Amino acid sequence: MNYPQIPKSWNIESKPHKFCPGCGHGIALKALGMVIDELGIQDKTVFGVDIGCSLLAWDFFNVDTIQTHHGRTTPVITGIKRANPELITIAYMGDGGGYAIGSQHLVNAAARNEKITVILVNNTNYGMTGGQMAPTTLPGQKTETTPYGRDVDETGYPTLGPEMVAAIAREGAYVARGTVANLRQLKGFIKKAIENQMAGNGFSFVEVLSGCPTNWRTNAKETWDFIENTMTQYFKVGELKVPGKGE
């Protein structure tokens, strides 16, 4: 067999993809690709990527893709959905775009209960610019701009995105947090988020805990340890809001 086992919706011409070795984006996009294959929605999906490492996914899928800046993926994808409600629209962004500079768009889209799916990859730093402190950097974690560890007295505590979205979103919204260390669970969350949009219930939001070996300066073992043990202590994995089940 000379053809690798990749999801059918992936664009084989652009592989190997441009992410760093060991980047969690590849696993998150693998889960998304498998979901697009399973639901058979490749020809009616619009995929929006944000600025940051997530923009390297601009030629990742064989689906219509748009790239915008600084968290504006959410309003652009909202506009596409409002203009053509038949389409399935997915906004894909990082924690810098979604929680820092573009948090207003995320908050307002959740408050309006827009019928879109947002997938946000959280790697606790700004990966593309060299690993600076992001809103999601853990207390005490060393980054380029916090060489002695993040001081919570000065810079506050990490943003808990899904908890925030679950608090402001109305009934019908789906909010969950998955991790790249558990692909089956993550795939289930993303599938439910897209099915929630297809059913027209409301806003769907999935945060993905991901690794950044390049900027964390970790080897493979330390990367998994940080994702599975350190990150999940602060960012609890699971479903926060499911339609019909209340909080």
Partner 1 sequence: MEFKARVLEHTKGTWTIYPGLCKGCGLCMAKCPKGAISWSEVLGVYGTPAVESDDKCIACGICQMVCPDCAIYVEKKK
Crossing angle for the helix pair 183-198 and 24-39, to the nearest 10 degrees: 50
Query: Alpha helix locations (H) across 112-227?
Result: 152-155, 161-168, 183-198, 213-216, 220-225
Considering the rule CB under 8 A, would residue 23 count as an interface residue with partner 1? Answer: yes
Identity at 216, one-letter amino acid code: W
Binding test (CB under 8 A) with partner 1, winner from 8, 12, 157, 170: 12
- If the CB atoms of residues 21 and 244 are measured against partner 1, the closer one turns out to be 21
Considering the rule CB under 8 A, would residue 86 count as an interface residue with partner 1? Answer: no
Closest contact distance (angstroms) between CB of 92 and partner 1 is 15
Neighbouring residues of 54: CB distance < 8 A, sequence distance ≥ 6? 25, 92, 93, 94, 97, 121
86 backbone φψ class: left, alpha, beta (φ>0; ψ -120 to 50):
alpha
Closest contact distance (angstroms) between CB of 220 and partner 1 is 4
Hunting for tokens 């999940």 — which residue is that?
A: 232
- If the CB atoms of residues 105 and 187 are measured against partner 1, the closer one turns out to be 187
Closest contact distance (angstroms) between CB of 22 and partner 1 is 3
User: Among residue numbers 216 through 235, which ones bind partner 1 (CB under 8 A)?
Assistant: 219-221, 223-224
Closest contact distance (angstroms) between CB of 39 and partner 1 is 19
- If the CB atoms of residues 21 and 200 are measured against partner 1, the closer one turns out to be 21
Which of the ranges 5-13, 103-111, 139-147, 155-163 carries the binding residues for partner 1, by CB under 8 A? 5-13
The residue among 238, 223, 192 whose CA lies nearest residue 32 is 192
Closest contact distance (angstroms) between CB of 114 and partner 1 is 30
Considering the rule CB under 8 A, would residue 183 count as an interface residue with partner 1? Answer: yes
Cβ(173)–Cβ(113) under 8 Å?
yes
Helix (H/G/I), strand (E/B), else coil: 196: helix
Q: How many helices (H) and strands (E) does the chain have?
A: 10, 9
Cβ(121)–Cβ(113) under 8 Å?
no
Considering the rule CB under 8 A, would residue 62 count as an interface residue with partner 1? Answer: no
Task: Compose the 194-213 pattern: x for residues touching partner 1 by CB under 8 A, - for all others.
Answer: -------------------x
Considering the rule CB under 8 A, would residue 22 count as an interface residue with partner 1? Answer: yes
Neighbouring residues of 86: CB distance < 8 A, sequence distance ≥ 6? 44
- Residues composing the chain: 247
Judged by CB under 8 A, the number of residues near partner 1 is 33
Read off the DSSP letter of residue 200.
Answer: T
Cα(107)–Cα(235) distance, integer angstroms: 19
- If the CB atoms of residues 167 and 220 are measured against partner 1, the closer one turns out to be 220
Considering the rule CB under 8 A, would residue 246 count as an interface residue with partner 1? Answer: no
* Site of interaction with partner 1 (CB under 8 A): 1-7, 10, 12-13, 15-17, 19-27, 30, 180-181, 183-184, 213, 219-221, 223-224
